[in-house]
Structure 1
Amino acid sequence: MELRSRTTTRRAFLGTSLGLAAAAVAVSPAPAVAEGRRRIPRGGIGMHLYTMRGPLAVDFHGTLERLAEIGYATVGVSGRHGNGAADIRRILDATGLRAVLEHVSYDILRGPGLAQALADLHTLGAKWPVVPSLPGSLHTPAGFREVAREFNRIGQASREAGLGRLLFHNHGADHATVDGEVLYDILVRETDPELVGFELDVYWAAKGDADPARYFVRHPRRFPALHVKDMAPDGSIADVGSGVLDFAAMFRHAHVGGVRQWLVEHDSPADPFATARNSYGYLAALRY
């Protein structure tokens, strides 16, 4: 089996035209406010709560209150810190935030825990179950085809339960080329668009040398949610707006891709609340 990781690059994402005929590579940090007429709806700027796991473990309610004060409208749930789904819903309602999705392990969703996971999503008031990652043993073309079949089945169960499509959250390894095939593309091609969508993590896509704008145009409506995080010049994760990714170019065709939620994430923030403030301020001011 031939395995070739796609070249990790510090280039910003390619600004793709609707015809995909040309692309311009940006290599410098994006401006604080880009020129353009579109803006991210305030109701579409959310926080993926993995970013805030430290503060949440100490004060779940207080952390969500502070996110609401910053301006966030929505959250992606990732880890409950001892709270049940009903407890989290009460806190969300009290703080004026809304859960839009929850990360649930692949093993739970493909097993007997599926029904409870979907019921919990209803309790949270969320729409989408999300597979956050896949076991390394499945990172082959045959493995991803098996996953595509499972995703269709889980997505069907989600729709029958009155929820949205199953979503998949990518990491860098998901964009590897194995035996001549891009693994991520297998999932995009071999899942039913009515049952399966994608929560595209734009940082990990960049690590895999993938271009979100191309995906948005080539696969309309498949990407209802994004994980938005920036890349520092050394390739590490940075607060949104402080790194080298050209978000204005990236989001130019987000509406074609069906993006409805821009969820901020940072895997290891030095100060989670500073990251939350900085990233929200950038996204609220962005024009593209």
Structure 2
Amino acid sequence: MAKTNSKGKGGSIGLSRRTFLTRSALVAGGIAGSSLFPFAASAQSRRVDNIGLQLYTLRKELAEDFDGTLARVAELGFKEMEFAGYYGRSAAQIKTALETNGLVSPAAHIQWAAIRDNLQAEIDRAVGIGQRYIVIPYLQENERTLDHYKRLIDTLNSAGEACRDAGLKIAYHNHDFEFDTVDGVVPYDLLLTETDPDLVDMELDLFWIAYAGADPLAYIKDHAGRFSMLHVKDLSADRKMTAVGEGTIDFEAIFAHADIGGFKHYFVEHDNPVDAFDSVTTSIASVRGMRF
């Protein structure tokens, strides 16, 4: 089982800084330049290249002006969009809007109920948009019993087979509650150990795992290759969500473990920003400046 509380709640996420030898070894081994990892590399450092955005951050803006919002996002330099709703548009319309702005969408958040009740339609839509992942994003409060987690595991494994047959992969996105012990079990540990790693990936939300007081690096090391996607969002000293670079999380130390974790997609997000475009502008600038 992964260590879940190497830091108390509210503490800065420790995570040792990367070293020159680690960077050099990764580059020398060809890992940093591999197509599996979306960052540019040199002999000195790596950086995230294709920075993504979870569009839940801009849900109000998208509802008011879908095409204009995507255009602004592209102008800021984002490359990959993760959807959380399609605003009444078909897969073909979404794909056209993305292509118009030079964007792609690797993933979307789809509720557990939709996966249970209408999986094939969700697969067809994902394929039509050109996505690679369908992500279950959240559990309602009444779905957080141990029995529900076991049902979720069954859903993930069975949906994972159907997704694989369509060239997709199913994934699960965490909040903080998955790290709260339920009947003597840490649900996130159960999800990792009982889902088939060949069928099910994890989208690691760096804010929520930090908020829970758990150690992301412990999970990354103990479950290598499971974390194809990251939600890049920051935790302030007073335990609030903030723009990337304005909080306490050492993203560079986490990103330096991309080869171990299997990171492929980095989605900036803020759940409830005061000014959404101000937040994502600050966040993408911070991610661009990171070296690891």
Bin for the TM-score computed over the shorter chain? 0.7 to 0.9
Match of 1:70 in 2: 76
Q: Secondary structure at the match of 1:177?
A: coil
Q: What TM-score do you get using the length of structure 2 for normalisation?
A: 0.86
What is the CA–CA distance in structure 1 between the aligned matches of 2:67 and 2:120, rounded to whole Å?
Answer: 27
CA positional deviation for 1:218:
1.1
What is the CA–CA distance in structure 2 between the aligned matches of 1:100 and 1:240, rounded to whole Å?
Answer: 21
Whether contact under 8 Å (1:14, 1:250) holds in the other structure is no
Q: Higher relative CO (CA 8 A, sep ≥ 6), structure 1 or 2? A: 1
1:141/1:40 Cα in 2 relative to 1: closer, same or farther (>3 Å)?
farther
Whether contact under 8 Å (2:156, 2:195) holds in the other structure is yes
What is the CA–CA distance in structure 2 between the aligned matches of 1:268 and 1:145, rounded to whole Å?
Answer: 31
- Structure 1 stretches lacking a partner, 5+ long: 19-35
Amino acid at match of 2:47: I
1:106 aligns with one of 99, 106, 112: 112
Match of 2:48 in 1: 41
- Count of aligned positions: 264
Stretch deviating more after TM superposition (50-59 or 210-219): 210-219
Match of 1:145 in 2: 150
CA positional deviation for 1:16:
5.9
Give the alignment's Cα RMSD to 1 decimal: 2.0
Match of 1:28 in 2: none
1:11/1:38 Cα in 2 relative to 1: closer, same or farther (>3 Å)?
farther
Whether contact under 8 Å (1:141, 1:186) holds in the other structure is no
What is the CA–CA distance in structure 2 between the aligned matches of 1:39 and 1:249, rounded to whole Å?
Answer: 12
What is the CA–CA distance in structure 1 between the aligned matches of 2:8 and 2:70, rounded to whole Å?
Answer: 35
What is the CA–CA distance in structure 1 between the aligned matches of 2:281 and 2:232, rounded to whole Å?
Answer: 14
Match of 1:243 in 2: 247
Match of 1:51 in 2: 57
Match of 1:173 in 2: 177
Task: Tell whether 2:139 aligns with 1:134.
Answer: yes
Match of 1:11 in 2: 11
- Structure 2 stretches lacking a partner, 5+ long: 19-42
Match of 2:26 in 1: none
Amino acid at match of 1:208: A
What is the CA–CA distance in structure 2 between the aligned matches of 1:52 and 1:250, rounded to whole Å?
Answer: 26
What is the CA–CA distance in structure 2 between the aligned matches of 1:61 and 1:138, rounded to whole Å?
Answer: 35
Match of 1:115 in 2: 120
1:152/1:54 Cα in 2 relative to 1: closer, same or farther (>3 Å)?
same
Amino acid at match of 1:204: W
Q: Secondary structure at the match of 2:225?
A: coil
Whether contact under 8 Å (1:8, 1:207) holds in the other structure is no
* 1:8-67 residue CA offsets vs partner (Å, 9 max, x unmatched): 72222231699xxxxxxxxxxxxxxxxx94433312x10000001111111111111111
4+ residue segments displaced more than 6 Å: 5-8
Match of 1:197 in 2: 201
1:84 aligns with one of 71, 84, 90: 90
